[in-house]
Amino acid sequence: MSKLVIVGTVAFDAIETPFGKTDKILGGAATYIGLAASQFNADGAIVSVVGGDFPQEDITMLQNKGMNVEGLEIVKEGKTFFWSGKYHNDMNTRDTLATELNVLETFSPVVPDAYKDAEVVMLGNLHPMVQMGVIDQMNDPKLVVLDTMNFWMDIALDDLKKVIAKVDVITINDEEARQLSGEYSLVNAAKKIFTMGPKYVVIKKGEHGALIFHKDQMFFAPALPLAEVFDPTGAGDTFAGGFTGYLAKTGDYSFENMKRAIIHGSCLASFCVEKFGTERMQDLKREEVNKRLHQFKSLTQFDIQLT
Ligand code: AMP
């Protein structure tokens, strides 16, 4: 198994969906990525920052999931990154109500020495210059994956483009792919994004699954239709954690294996949305994942006679 470096926010979230509302609960891109990657027993290290207001029990929980937290800085006198969002009735779109960078504003990431030779780097959502700071510390990773969001396109596009130029894979949602490329068609958006650097483009479409593009090939992973979706927060990060956790576990970075990796990502994301925040991902058992992978297979498998 290869090592995995995960950078992203470790956060407090306040979420409102048509089913309820939460006060500040555990969230953050790196938290969801780490929880998803832990399903593969990936040897992962989280590189991030929190304030003195962050509970030790949440750090211990991440450690118990097998995550190395040497690179999780605690700024005692600072406040943890805070995000608040409200979902629309379709549960696929949301408004960001607040983004408070707090300790992230002055964060300078430090990758633990033992992880500088990691094969896979997952640059989760946070400031593009922090993502760049992590790339610069790595020895010679085999695969660098970047996730980002409209917030950074709006306030740090030039920096973001510099990081995009250095990565192998980008994972973004459909609206962000359109914003970044200026193309409406996702096929054309992927083509345009290839010219910015990445050889693989993954476009997440929420409840409509995810697409991966490479050269002139494409592959689609559905999202599992669920009877009840409580909170989509973190689904994209969980997808990315499943994708990179699977690739780190198998050590195979071919397009064929990436197809399996996006199915694993989609499968894990289907659990994330079943409860508020990280609750479902914290309790998730390997047997449940295996069972659901079978459901994914039968969802799209069909026999057809082609001439
Ligand atoms: P997702 O639903 O996959 O887009 O991820 C939501 C998670 O990303 C939440 O737990 C937030 O704490 C975190 N988040 C929201 N906005 C940002 C941002 N601008 N930068 C980094 N992380 C963010």
pLDDT at 231: 93
Can you tell me which atom of ligand 1 is nearest the CA of 94?
2
> What mean pLDDT do residues 134-162 have?
97
- Digit-coded pLDDT (tens) for 78-104: 999 999 999 998 888 899 999 999 999
For atom 19 of ligand 1, the residue with the nearest CA is 151
23-75 per-position pLDDT tens digit:
999 999 999 999 999 999 989 999 999 999 999 999 999 999 999 999 999 99
Q: 276 pLDDT band (50/70/90 cuts)? A: very high
Q: Of ligand 1's atoms, which has the minimum distance to the CA of residue 82?
A: 12
Q: Which atom of ligand 1 lies nearest, measured to the CA of 173?
A: 4
Q: How far is the CA of 304 from the centre of ligand 1 (A)?
A: 41
Of the candidates 260, 271, 263, the one whose C-alpha atom is nearest the C-alpha of residue 234 is: 271
Residue 216 CA, ligand 1 centroid: distance in Å: 31
pLDDT in tens, 205-247: 998 999 999 999 999 999 999 988 899 999 999 999 999 999 9
- CA dist 46 and 36 (Å) reads 13
Ligand 1 pocket test: pick from 84, 149, 229, 243 the residue with the most ligand atoms within 8 Å of its Cβ. Answer: 149
Pocket, ligand 1, Cβ cutoff 6 A: 9, 11, 13, 27-29, 83, 99, 125-126, 149, 151, 233-237
Closest Cα to atom 6, ligand 1: which residue?
A: 234
| pLDDT of res. 227 | 87
Closest residue by Cα to atom 14, ligand 1, is 28
Q: Return the residue whose CA atom lies nearest to atom 5 of ligand 1.
A: 234
Taking the CA of residue 232 as reference, the ligand 1 atom at the shortest distance is 2
- The pLDDT tens digits of the residues spanning 153-211 come to 999 999 999 999 999 999 999 999 999 999 999 999 999 999 999 999 999 999 899 99
Which pLDDT band, with edges at 50, 70 and 90, does 300 fall under?
confident
